[in-house]
Amino acid sequence: MNGDDSAVEVLPPLLAIRGWTAEIDPGYLRFIDEMRATGAEVVDVFVPHGECKTFGEWADAVMVEALVHFSETSPLHILSYCGGGTLTTVGLRLLEQRGLQPAYLGFIDVRAGHPEFRLRMGFDSMYAVPWAQRIRHQLVRLTPPDRERPGAVAASLFRRAVRSTIELRSRGWRSRNRRLPLIHRQAELAARWEFDSIRTPAHLYNCADSVDRYWPGDPSLGRSSLLRGGFGVRFIGGDHHSCLQPPHSADLIAKITHDRRAVHAGTSILIPLE
């Protein structure tokens, strides 16, 4: 089979897990509609964080909702993007503990929090991440295989300290996202959570632009340590937002459909870097 085949009605329903509201991220809903226009059955799964005290509570609630749309007579296919992928990674531990493992698991441009990037952007201070967790993030930069020089790490910490002093005086560490409190709260829940690995093999669809900007030289966007079941990477066109829009969306949908068909036919192997 190739990615140009059009008959997708034999595939199981695709549970598309969403992390943001329609108002904040309408692009993903348009992308889902575009997939449906090809004949695919796609179920939009969204649960607001509500009164959840931790990111784990929120992720578990999302998986409970996803299972409402799942029949054990059909293989489980899950796709997620951005924050939805982060929720899926955490929530999948609940499914794995119940003995449920998706036959197909796809992540669209989902990245882990690069320690240097989150330091430079001030995320740990912005979201009041505990100090022990902040220290662990920076110590990762001193460990193989991509170990940084101690001097470079120390210099980045010094630059952040200087910037923090300036920013504290000018805006009191108030996140720009507080103009949209929902975004700030969801990002805070994610920033304060420490992630565990999952065993389900994953198909990663990543933008080269994101690799260049956030995880130079790492095509998995920092997620390799979390995906213990194995993974493969397909590079897709556009950037984090435009990859879901025409003309890039058609190629992305074709890749996803091809991989789902291969999984369903039992001929799938971990997809190669391309």
Ranges of each domain in the chain: 14-112+196-265, 115-191
Query: Which segments of 111-240 does DSSP mark as H helices, in order?
Result: 115-121, 123-126, 131-140, 150-171, 181-191, 208-214
Predicted local confidence at residue 145, as pLDDT: 77
- Residue 241 CB: number of other CB atoms within 10 A? 13
Predicted local confidence at residue 176, as pLDDT: 59
pLDDT band at 257 (very low <50, low <70, confident <90, very high): very high
The predicted-structure confidence for 29-48, as pLDDT tens digits, reads as follows 999 999 999 999 999 999 99
Indicate the range of 13-17, 145-149, 248-252 predicted with least confidence. 145-149
Of all residues in the chain, what percent carry a pLDDT higher than 90? 56
**Mean of all residue pLDDT scores within the chain:** 88
Cα end-to-end distance, the chain, whole Å: 18
pTM summary value: 0.86
pLDDT band at 209 (very low <50, low <70, confident <90, very high): very high
Q: Are 263 and 271 within 8 A, CB to CB?
A: no
Cis, peptide link before residue 201, omega less than 30° from 0? no
Predicted local confidence at residue 122, as pLDDT: 85
The predicted-structure confidence for 67-100, as pLDDT tens digits, reads as follows 999 888 889 999 999 999 999 999 998 889 888 9
- How many residues in total does the chain contain? 274
Of 261, 260, 197, the closest CA to residue 230 belongs to 197
pLDDT band at 179 (very low <50, low <70, confident <90, very high): low
CA 252 – CA 264 distance, rounded (Å): 18
Predicted local confidence at residue 121, as pLDDT: 85
Q: Are 47 and 60 within 8 A, CB to CB?
A: no
- 14-112+196-265: which CATH architecture? 3-Layer(aba) Sandwich (3.40)
